[in-house]
Amino acid sequence: MTPHVTVLLATCNGGDALAPQLDSYLSQSLKPTQVLASDDGSSDGSQACFAAFSTRATALGIDCQMHQGPGRGCTANFLSLLARAEATSDYVALSDQDDIWLPDKLATAVALLAPHQQRPALLGTRSWEWHPDHDHQTLSRVVPPPHDFRHALVQNFAGGNTMMLNRAGLALVQRALPQVRDAAVHDWWLYQLITGAGGLVILDQTPQILYRQHDSNQIGANRGLGSRLRRFRAMLDGTYQRWNSLNISALEPNMALLTAESQAILSSFIRHRHAPLMLRMRMLRQTGLRRKGRINQASLWLAALLNKL
């Protein structure tokens, strides 16, 4: 039986890049059953582009729907889509508006998630960081295992544009969403929730998308000196601290969904992130919070030192 795969697409002035992304859905070896789009007030013809796609997709038996987004940015838009997704979906794939999916993206993800139907599971992949102006592709950096709550609380593991949830994972997310108004980034919060609840995280080393790089990327490729400087600056200027506060506001009301171990880690982080210096440093040691990579880990300890957690 063909699995029910729902694609969640957040749009806002996707421009000329939207049509190739939509076309790549139809080129999948395992085609989606449904495409739910949420548009955050586009004024560039994105809605008309989706309507034209919908006509072609519907002829292939794909259900297409466009909804009005909440108008509060990309993260809120994706959270609204996760709330809309049908609970009967076997799998839910997140999609940006300007990438290109490689033909086996959905089929490979389903094959990797299928053995874990009884447990909330989240899959992410590496990607080809793609510069379309000169058609240059670079393989994204890998975030090595373990992918657990101690890591998730302070760093993401993969791009949201590569992620897929199984049905149990979607059910967990939809239980948590009524208590969530916002998060730092929707995909990072998914990683935190799934690992915090004792779910499974899978990172596929095989890239499955062309991740378009341009000046308007919300996050962009995590590569090079410029990227490291931006993330280091985020530690120093309070941006990382604000992200942690947003993530806590999304996790704390859902404490009952987390394992006892995750509850203890989160409680300690909340209680001690702004405590006196020695208590902050002790908290990092005792909880085992970690970012991957020596520079990233050093920046975490520096944030604790400067009271910027």
Sequence ranges of the domains in the chain: 5-212, 224-305
In the chain the beta strands, taken as DSSP E runs, fall at 5-11, 34-39, 63-68, 91-95, 100-101, 121-125, 128-131, 136-139, 164-166, 200-204, 209-212
Considering the domain delimited by 5-212, tell me its CATH architecture.
Alpha-Beta Complex (3.90)
Return left, alpha or beta for 16; rule: phi > 0 is left, psi -120 to 50 is alpha, else beta: alpha
Return left, alpha or beta for 13; rule: phi > 0 is left, psi -120 to 50 is alpha, else beta: left
Note the pLDDT of residue 176: 98
- Positive or negative torsion for Cα 115, 21, 189, 5: negative
The gap between the terminal CA atoms of the chain, to the nearest Å, is: 48
> How is residue 240 written in tokens?
């990382």
Q: How far is CA 298 from CA 9, 57, 224, 263, 276, in A?
A: 36, 48, 17, 25, 19
Q: Hey, how many other C-beta atoms are within 10 angstroms of the C-beta on 288? A: 11
| φ, ψ of residue 182 in degrees (nearest 5) | -155, 165
Which regions in the chain score pLDDT beneath 70? 214-228, 231
Which of 113, 127, 79 lies closest to 4, judged by CA?
Answer: 113
Peptide bond into 146 cis (omega under 30): yes
Residue 207 is which amino acid?
A: P
pLDDT digits (tens, 9 = 90+) for 162-206: 999 999 999 999 999 999 999 999 999 999 999 999 999 999 999
> How is residue 268 written in tokens?
């300690």
Residue 96 is which amino acid?
A: D
> How is residue 34 written in tokens?
């449904």
Note the pLDDT of residue 132: 83
Q: How far is CA 139 from CA 133, 205, 221, 226, in A?
A: 17, 10, 10, 17
Cα 249 to its chain centre, rounded Å, is 17
Residue 129 bridge partners (DSSP)? 138, 211
C-alpha span between 173 and 283 (Å, rounded): 28
Write down the pTM of the prediction: 0.94
pLDDT digits (tens, 9 = 90+) for 30-61: 999 999 999 999 999 999 999 999 999 999 99
Report DSSP letters for 10-63, one per residue.
EESS-GGGHHHHHHHHHT-SS--SEEEEEES---SSHHHHHHHHHHHHHHTT-E
In 115-261 the beta strands, taken as DSSP E runs, fall at 121-125, 128-131, 136-139, 164-166, 200-204, 209-212
C-alpha span between 233 and 214 (Å, rounded): 21
